[in-house]
Amino acid sequence: MTAIGFAAEPFVSLSLPDALEKATATDKVVLVEFTIDMLPAGEAMPTSIPLNDDIRKWIKSHAIAIKIDCKSEPEIVSRYFINAAPTIVIMRGDGTVLGRTLGVLPAEAFLEFAENALVEKPALDRAREIFESGDKDDPFNRHNYASALAADGKAKEALEHYLWCFDEGARHDAAYEQFRLTRLLGEIVAAAQQYRPAVDAMKSRRDRAESRLRDFLYGKPEEVDDRPREKGILGLIGRLTGVSEAPAIETQAAELAVLNSLFKRDSQSIEIYDKLKACDRKHADVARIAICRVIVRPLFKAGRYDDLVRDADPVGYVDTLMTEVETARALAEAANQANADPQLNRMRIESIRSACRAYLTCLAADRKDLADKVKNRLLAFESSLYVFEELLISAAGAKRYEVVLELGDEAQRRLDDDNARTIRHRVKANLKSPEGQAALEKYRRTARADEGQQE
């Protein structure tokens, strides 16, 4: 097993087989933190476990604690159905999973999770009892049971329940719709590593969605789903107000785009998207937008900025990104989870980069009004040297050198002297091209004219 940096107490440097053997010999459990190593060799990866005195004492008394790098151990990751990091799994010496939790928990919640894993039945037995005694048409209930089956290596049985959730779940609870093409699909992909028919099942659903989109484009009657959504606040509101659900073609369009992306067929999604642009049928616009918001990256790489500005809502997208990071920060601070910093920082960096791609998109589409809204939302989130550097790169990438100059001026007002000096150098470097020099000369003429008017 590939080690992650070095094992910092209370973790030990053991492979999973050795940890299981030691746990059996000492009558303990194995606590595994599945994480992703992003540090140089010789550095200990920060743990997502809130290590206070009580938790250290619990681990010392009851567990052999190890870390596993998800990227280095794909076989183990597949066997225990790990599809996100950090994930904590507690298991017996024979490998039976007693409990699992995803993400960072407050100390009290983590200790409760760990204690319950010792005294309760194996996770699969608990999940089966809950499923059998509950509402089998509740997609969340069935999904949780499918996850437990997959984690226990029962991929075939898990797939049957996953596919029910994919096909029927949102019809029974409208709130489940947001999970279908995200968390659920991610778990089906993970199950496919153990059970090949999962791939075939999703390909058939991709083909079905594509057939429905092509039928729509050929003018065939649009499919209507008259079955009520029996649960969920959205379904209740719909029944009380008589408001119809989103058209079926919108859901099918999003489904097709996501599954095409999964199977590296974005070009097919772009083909359908372009045909929807020319389609004047009712609901063609919502289907087109649903596809666009899945294929943002391919359209961005193709330089189709006008399409993205029209259909991908870059301003709303950036606001959502920043709000998600701000919310995650607030929750971590409220729970006093300093150990969440590595995950939050990765989330922050990816969100800033995504926001700057949206900024470039707006500038390249000659929508500086939208670009300014994106920039202002990003700077309200974080006004730092890093953000200004990324904004400058985006403005230069869009060949909007007058915006490069504006960003330089704004950085002088917002940043401290050292960072402002760095940005001045960055601006100068970006203006070396003939286009940049022309923008600089125009900027100077405008500044001189403004000064003359003031006099």
The low-confidence residues of the chain, meaning pLDDT below 70, are 1-7, 37-46, 224-246, 334-341, 447-455
Choosing from 91, 120, 149, the residue where a domain stops is 120
- pLDDT for the residue numbered 43: 45
Residue 245 shares a structural domain with residue 140: yes
CA geometry: angle at 328 spanning 322 and 330, to 5°? 100
Give how far Cα 143 sits from Cα of 33, 161, 255, 401, Å.
23, 7, 18, 51
Give how far Cα 423 sits from Cα of 99, 174, 246, 348, Å.
50, 48, 47, 21
Is residue 38 situated within a structural domain?
Answer: yes
Residue 33 shares a structural domain with residue 146: no
H-only helix segments in 40-137? 53-62, 74-79, 107-119, 123-133
Is residue 9 situated within a structural domain?
Answer: no
Which structural domain range is residue 415 located in?
A: 329-454
Is residue 11 situated within a structural domain?
Answer: no
User: Considering its fold, how many domains does the chain have in total?
Assistant: 3
Residue 32 shares a structural domain with residue 163: no
Residue whose token pair is 């980069």: 353
- pLDDT for the residue numbered 3: 43
**AA identity, residue 248:** A
Residue 279 shares a structural domain with residue 358: no
Residue 114 shares a structural domain with residue 171: no
Residue 405 shares a structural domain with residue 296: no
Are 432 and 425 in contact, with CB atoms under 8 Å apart?
Answer: no
Residue 408 shares a structural domain with residue 300: no
Residue whose token pair is 């999770």: 113
Residue 97 shares a structural domain with residue 132: no
Is residue 3 situated within a structural domain?
Answer: no
User: Can you read off the two tokens belonging to residue 246?
Assistant: 């989103």
* Gap between the Cα atoms of 169 and 435, Å rounded: 55
Residue 90 shares a structural domain with residue 30: yes
Choosing from 288, 314, 340, the residue where a domain stops is 314
Residue 261 shares a structural domain with residue 153: yes
Is residue 322 situated within a structural domain?
Answer: no
Residue 304 shares a structural domain with residue 339: no
- pLDDT for the residue numbered 453: 58
- pLDDT for the residue numbered 83: 77
Residue 134 shares a structural domain with residue 267: yes
